[in-house]
């Protein structure tokens, strides 16, 4: 079974940066589109970013455009989410996930229901 593991979270001051990683066991991530989601306490899980299988398509939530960058390094079997200029509202548990089918194309509005495999998440805290 495909298992996803997120890492790279931590405590950062507003304006700081973090790079999250999404790694997989058993399967190579290059065959999957990958979505990044986040969930803050008391809030719904929301889509943050998505990268296509070929990495030719990337999508971002309006709230993170210009600050976050999603990328993949197939040699390392890892998908990254570079987060710059972090804001307090970015604080959440961040999850990576794979979609239900190979033909999935990253949509402008990421839906949790389009994804079937999830990591356990990594905590991002933004505080002074």
* Of 35, 25, 28, nearest in space to 3 by CA: 25
Mean pLDDT over residues 119-123, rounded? 97
Q: Which pLDDT belongs to residue 99?
A: 94
Q: How far is CA 82 from the centre of its chain?
A: 9
Give the burial string for 90-125 (b: 16+ CB within 10 Å, else e): bbbbbbbbbbeeeebebeeebeeebbebbbebbebb
Q: Which pLDDT belongs to residue 27?
A: 83
Contacts of residue 61, Cβ cutoff 8 Å, sequence gap at least 6: 46, 47, 48, 49, 110
**What is the 3 state secondary structure string of 35-49?**
EEEEECCCCCCEEEE
For 110, the token pair is: 């990421």
pLDDT tens by residue, 3-33 = 899 999 999 999 999 999 999 887 888 889 9
Residue indicated by tokens 């210009």: 66
pLDDT tens by residue, 59-105 = 999 999 999 999 999 889 999 999 999 999 999 999 999 999 888 98
For 61, the token pair is: 């939530």
Q: Which pLDDT belongs to residue 55?
A: 80
Q: Which pLDDT belongs to residue 26?
A: 79
Q: Residue 116 above 90 pLDDT? A: yes
């Amino acid at each position: 079974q495909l298992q996803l593991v997120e890492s790279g979270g931590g405590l950062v001051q507003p304006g700081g940066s973090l790079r999250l990683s999404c790694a997989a066991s058993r399967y190579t991530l290059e065959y999957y589109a990958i979505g990044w989601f986040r969930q803050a306490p008391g809030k719904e899980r929301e889509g943050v970013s998505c990268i296509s299988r070929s990495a030719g398509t990337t999508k971002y939530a309006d709230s993170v455009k210009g600050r976050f960058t999603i990328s993949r390094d197939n040699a390392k079997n890892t998908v990254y989410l570079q987060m710059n200029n972090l804001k307090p509202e970015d604080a959440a548990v961040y999850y990576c996930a794979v979609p239900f089918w190979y033909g999935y194309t990253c949509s402008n509005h990421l839906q949790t229901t389009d994804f079937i495999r999830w990591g356990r998440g990594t905590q991002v805290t933004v505080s002074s």
